[in-house]
Amino acid sequence: MDLIIERLPEINQAMLETFAMIAVAIPLAVLLGTPLGIWLFVHAPDGLAPRPRSHALVSGVVNMIRSFPFLILLIAIIPFTRFVVGTSVGTAAVIVPLTINAIPYFARLVEQNITQLGSGAVEASRAMGATRGQIIRNVLLVDAKPGLIGSITITTVSFISYSAMSGLVGGGGIGDLAIRYGYYRYETPTMIAAIVLMVLLVTLVQFTGTRLARASDRRITA
């Protein structure tokens, strides 16, 4: 117990670092991954405006980034990271690969959410003379909203877990704390404290996400 109290400043610091990583990476992934996911849906071979060739190319790039183990991506894009944030170590340097990995991750979830909506309302909108943009904004994103909130939740939880690998470039965070103090220094109580905090964090994110998704879903009788 004394040990945990002694480590409180570090634990505090680590929580802040985790928050920083998630608070930057996830909104960026949503902001950039959503249009990418919509693009993949619209230009799919059987989509609203098929562009089979460029779709295959973009889809391939998305698959490539998605198949990199995060640890390797973290190292592989160090030059790019240095270019963007001016350094290859520290929390800011972890945010770059986290975001790069989260964008295609979230884009695939968006694509899946929209694809499974069914084409009825889209066809009705086309018959009403809607533009493609109007259909995306007023129909697809509206009906996909509960699914999209669920996808943001899943992405956040996954990337809280990924952020634990940030220690490799000195990025910090609560997962990194568990590894450094708990594993390397055999401070089991510190490790347990860190893990309990991560479980609480994930539980909170999941709980909030589920509540928000349900509140936005009118597709089932209340």
- Residue ranges binding another protein (CB under 8 A): 120-121, 123-131, 134, 138-139, 142-143, 145-146, 216-222
Q: At what angle do helices 2-42 and 52-67 cross, to 10 degrees?
A: 170
Query: Smallest distance, Å, CB 202 to another protein?
Result: 28
8 Å CB contact between 160 and 98? no
| Separation of alpha carbons 189 and 3, rounded Å | 7
Query: Smallest distance, Å, CB 133 to another protein?
Result: 11
Quick one: 5 or 222, whose CB is closer to another protein? 222
Quick one: 76 or 117, whose CB is closer to another protein? 117
Quick one: 29 or 139, whose CB is closer to another protein? 139
Query: Smallest distance, Å, CB 213 to another protein?
Result: 12
Quick one: 66 or 132, whose CB is closer to another protein? 132
Quick one: 10 or 217, whose CB is closer to another protein? 217
- Shortest CA distance to 94 belongs to which of 117, 65, 74? 74
Which DSSP category does 184 fall into? Answer: I
- Shortest CA distance to 171 belongs to which of 8, 4, 1, 16? 16
Query: Smallest distance, Å, CB 139 to another protein?
Result: 5
The dihedral formed by the CA atoms of 36, 39, 43 and 46, expressed in degrees to the nearest 10: 90
Residue 22: how many other CB atoms lie within 10 Å: 23
| Close Cβ partners of 221 (under 8 Å, ≥ 6 residues apart) | none
Query: Smallest distance, Å, CB 148 to another protein?
Result: 11
